[in-house]
Amino acid sequence: MVNWRRRDRTTVDGAEKRSVAPGVFRRCDGCGTTLLEDDLARAVGVCPQCGFHHRLATSRWIELLVDAGSFEPIAEELRSADPLGFSDGRGYPERLASSQRACGETEAVRVGEATMDGRAVALGVFSFGFMGGSMGSVVGERIARLFEHGLRRRAPVVVLSASGGARMQEGIHSLMQMAKTTAARGRLGDAGVPFVSVLLHPTTGGVAASYALLGDVNLAEPGALIGFAGPRVVEQTIKQRLPEGFQRSEFLLEHGMVDAIVPRSQLAATLRRVLGLLAD
């Protein structure tokens, strides 16, 4: 007789069979294929069947892109306040704490200085898992300080963006970050220090409408959703059917809004080549 209370095992033809431990398999978000987590990790989160680019943790991005042990964080001590006392059934501080526990990050972006093949760079990497990578006052301040750090050191700035846009829990304080980050990026450009923007899936809302599309070179991952309002919102607003692939990186490349689409396996080499051309 099968003991249905024992969830870790089942009995088939009288033989006891252990279920696979959580975290061993992962279903691809692109094609639905079941993949081994270890195989997906070795492929840096890219599905070997359909090429879908799954999200990576900020620590994994840093490991992939910069010289080992060279990353030093900037503005890590900054923490979000609750200026509006906002609650949508859960308080804002509670949501921040929940994201911190889930992601192991203090905020939706990590910024710092590092080296790539010995070349000094200022690097920012978003964590979409932290409240959808939304840009609140701390995210905006960290990005602005990253640009300022690059300006002081005359080190090129690289930012990997993945965001749903402004953080509603901070209201106008969040929207102000669009102007702050754009102004800081402008000062960097006036000084002739390069900025390379890498657009991950998705890069939308206030992040896309501020610094993210202002790179000297804009690179994008395959299939990334990039734009201000999402396709569904645009269709509902203009009451028209949008073109196939609208706001995907391939569409933006065709229309001149990004300079290249770079598969993840080629991103580190591409960044080094681009920085060599821009910074030398």
Comparing C-alpha atoms, which of 39, 76, 80, 45 is closest to residue 60?
45
* Predicted local distance difference test score (pLDDT) of residue 6: 39
Please state, rounded to an integer, the average pLDDT across all residues of the chain.
91
Using the Cα atoms of residue 161, residue 162, residue 168 and residue 169 in order, give the sign of their dihedral. Answer: negative
Q: What's the rounded Cα separation, in Å, for the pair 195 and 189?
A: 8
Q: What count of Cα atoms within 13 Å lies in the side-chain half-sphere of residue 67?
A: 13
* β 260-261/217-220 pair status: parallel
Asked: is 55-279 a CATH 3.90.226.10 domain? The reply is: yes
pLDDT in tens, 126-170: 999 999 999 999 999 999 999 999 999 999 999 999 999 999 999
* Percent above pLDDT 90 for the chain: 82
Q: What pTM, to 2 d.p., does this model score?
A: 0.89
DSSP run (H or E) holding 185: helix 172-190
Cα distances from 207 to residues 50, 160, 216, 278, in angstroms, run 28, 11, 16, 24
pLDDT bin (cut points 50, 70, 90) of residue 2 is very low
Q: Where are the domains of the chain?
A: 20-54, 55-279
Q: What is the mean pLDDT of residues 271-277?
A: 96
**Spatial CB neighbours of 154, under 8 Å, sequence gap ≥ 6:** 191, 193
pLDDT in tens, 183-195: 999 999 999 999 9
pLDDT in tens, 171-214: 999 999 999 999 999 999 999 999 999 999 999 999 999 999 99
Q: What's the rounded Cα separation, in Å, for the pair 122 and 145?
A: 10
* Predicted local distance difference test score (pLDDT) of residue 76: 96
* Predicted local distance difference test score (pLDDT) of residue 22: 57
* Predicted local distance difference test score (pLDDT) of residue 230: 81
